[in-house]
Amino acid sequence: MSKVGDALAGFGVTFKAMLHKPITEQYPEKPGPVAPRYHGRHQLNRYADGLEKCIGCELCAWACPADAIFVEGADNTAEQRFSPGERYGRVYQINYLRCIGCGLCIEACPTRALTMTNDYEMADDNRADLIYGKDKLLAPLTADMTAPPHAMAEGSTDEDYYRGNIRADGLARPSEATR
Ligand code: SF4
Ligand code: SF4
């Protein structure tokens, strides 16, 4: 193509762009949508009665290629129960200066305690505040949940929790159980 032809082709691209409606994201006033399966901030989930799903096993921390997770488990006791079974995650931290959003940690979690949300607004102006603890990661209590520590549902075993047989008001009858 001649130099004049090149120039006309170039101006053609410019001219077409001038006719397009501008795409302007009004961020942060109107944060844009993300894909439904976007890997954003993590969440530590609860059972329907409020007990925590995390059992402090550290599998997520071992699976993390960026060494971004720190877990310190502790024993549940009869008086102080935070999760079904023997152990709970006493300390749980994710360092978002390291996290690459790969999701390997949530794949490793045996109780589906750890999932990822669509929240991507995690910028800050200092390093310390980008290490999230349970105060930021734990799912909020809903109106029908009871804040731990508290006992497991009457007549239930830890297996009932893992199998999804627990409702906010106690152990579900077999016909009501969901997985
Ligand atoms: S998403 Fe990946 S990098 Fe981030 S904490 Fe999980 S395993 Fe580590
Ligand atoms: S989030 Fe899951 S994998 Fe990580 S310590 Fe808790 S139970 Fe284990």
Domains of the chain (ranges, CATH numbers): 36-170 (3.30.70.3270)
164 ligand 1 Cβ < 6 A: no
| Mutation test residue for ligand 2: of 57, 86, 90, the one with most atoms within 8 Å of CB | 57
Identify the CA nearest to 163 among candidates 145, 176, 151, 149.
176
Give me the percent of the chain exceeding a pLDDT of 90.
Answer: 83
Q: Which atom of ligand 1 has the smallest separation from the CA of 103?
A: 1
> Has 54 been labeled as part of a binding site?
yes
| Contact in structure between 74 and 115 (CB atoms under 8 Å) | no
Q: What is the pLDDT of residue 163?
A: 94
Predicted TM-score (pTM) of the model is: 0.85
Bridge partners, residue 71, by sequence: 92
Tell me: the pLDDT tens digits for 137-171?
999 999 999 999 999 999 999 999 999 999 998 99
Q: What is the pLDDT of residue 162?
A: 95
In 3-state terms the chain splits into helix, strand, coil percentages (rounded to 5) of 25, 15, 60
Q: How far is CA 117 from CA 36, 114, 154, in A?
A: 9, 10, 32
108 ligand 2 Cβ < 6 A: yes
- In which band, very low, low, confident or very high, does the pLDDT at 172 lie, cut at 50, 70 and 90? confident
User: Looking at the predicted structure, is the pLDDT value of residue 177 above 80?
Assistant: no
Tell me: the pLDDT tens digits for 22-75?
888 899 899 888 999 999 999 999 999 999 999 999 999 999 999 999 999 999
